[in-house]
Amino acid sequence: MIQVDLITKKDLDELRLKIFEDLQKLLSPKKQEVKDWLKSGEVRKILQISAGSLQNLRINGFLNPKKIGGTYYYRKAEIEKLFKE
């Protein structure tokens, strides 16, 4: 025996509303996460510099990162300060 499910207009309206809500969630602008600390790659992308240039900024004391497990972390405030000087 074949089971037949009837779809009513109410069912279609509920489906339409659910799809609309899901699309709104997907298309709404997502809040950007505010970070206080940035990794080297993120800093290089912001400043548009090479790894060597970033190393020179560290060596010359323009940036004072924290090194944790082989990864440098930079304060976002220090990066912004470079633009103000």
- Residue spans of the domains in the chain: they are 37-84
Check whether 31 has a pLDDT greater than 80. Answer: no
Cβ(43)–Cβ(73) below 8 Å: no
Residue-wise over 15-32: b if at least 16 C-beta within 10 A, else e? eeeeeeeeeeeeeeeeee
Q: Tell me the average pLDDT of the chain.
A: 89
- pLDDT value at residue 33: 65
pTM: 0.58
